[in-house]
């Protein structure tokens, strides 16, 4: 799914607000009100024939501005709902992916993991979070893991690293694009143990 948050230019917003005022289709006010001082000033200006035209223009401008604020508030609420829906969608994709995902620091500390990654290690939920991945691997596999984490951009998506779990379970790690500075996204695949393992 694509994240699309519509934006409205100030000119479009003004034209929309004026059109709604003209058609009597302005949205209900979201709480913006004209102060008593402003109303008093408008009343004084409109009572004087020399300034009544200016008062009407000012009143129209205030009304238009209020409708603009209400339209912006409505658009902001719609955008927020769309972003929440998109976030929920991508969280579900990450969490329910058929491969294990780990977000690791350069020290191999696990910042995030999905359900499949936890399952591959035989753990529940977020039990992997804050553990060092290196501590879950055999001592012979740790140098390859640490080398991959030090140069993730060179290995990203091009090569995988075969490692062994502490209990002789082999895994293949594929580094991906870092979601943030000093972190690496790693895909984790289980391999059938070889006869010599």
Q: What is the pLDDT of residues 51-68, one digit of tens each?
A: 777 777 777 777 777 878
Residue owning tokens 């943030």: 180
> How large is the average pLDDT for residues 167-188?
83
Res 141: pLDDT: 93
pLDDT in tens, 150-165: 876 654 556 788 999 8
- Per-residue pLDDT at 131 exceeds 50: yes
153-to-22, 109, 133, 156, 180 alpha-carbon distances in Å: 58, 18, 19, 5, 12
What average pLDDT does the chain have? 79
Question: Which of residues 41 and 72 earns the better pLDDT score?
Answer: 72
Res 86: pLDDT: 92
**Residue 170 contacts residue 164 (beta carbons within 8 Å):** yes
Res 197: pLDDT: 42
> How large is the average pLDDT for residues 16-37?
64
Q: Confidence band (pLDDT; 50, 70, 90) for 194?
A: low
**Residue 94 contacts residue 76 (beta carbons within 8 Å):** no
**Residue 117 contacts residue 188 (beta carbons within 8 Å):** yes
* Sheet-wide strand order for 100-105: 110-113, 100-105, 183-190, 170-175, 161-164
- d(CA 13, CA 65) in angstroms, rounded, equals 10
């Amino acid at each position: 799914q694509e994240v699309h948050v519509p934006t409205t230019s100030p000119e479009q917003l003004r034209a929309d607000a004026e059109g709604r005022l003209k058609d009597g289709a302005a949205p209900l006010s979201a709480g913006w009100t004209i102060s008593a001082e402003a109303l008093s000033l408008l009343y004084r200006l409109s009572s004087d024939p020399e300034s009544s035209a200016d008062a009407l223009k000012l009143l129209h401008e205030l009304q238009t501005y209020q409708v603009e604020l209400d339209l912006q508030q409505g658009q902001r609420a719609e955008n927020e709902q769309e972003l929440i829906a998109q976030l929920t969608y991508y969280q579900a994709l990450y969490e329910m992916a058929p491969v294990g995902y780990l977000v690791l620091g350069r020290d191999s500390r696990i910042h995030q993991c999905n359900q499949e990654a936890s399952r591959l290690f035989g753990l529940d939920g977020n039990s992997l979070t804050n553990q060092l991945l290196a501590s879950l691997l055999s001592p012979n596999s740790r140098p390859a893991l640490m080398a991959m984490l030090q140069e993730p951009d060179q290995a990203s998506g091009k090569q995988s690293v075969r490692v062994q779990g502490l209990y002789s379970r082999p895994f293949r790690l594929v580094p991906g694009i870092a979601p943030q500075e000093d972190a690496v996204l790693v895909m984790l695949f289980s391999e059938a143990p070889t006869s010599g393992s």
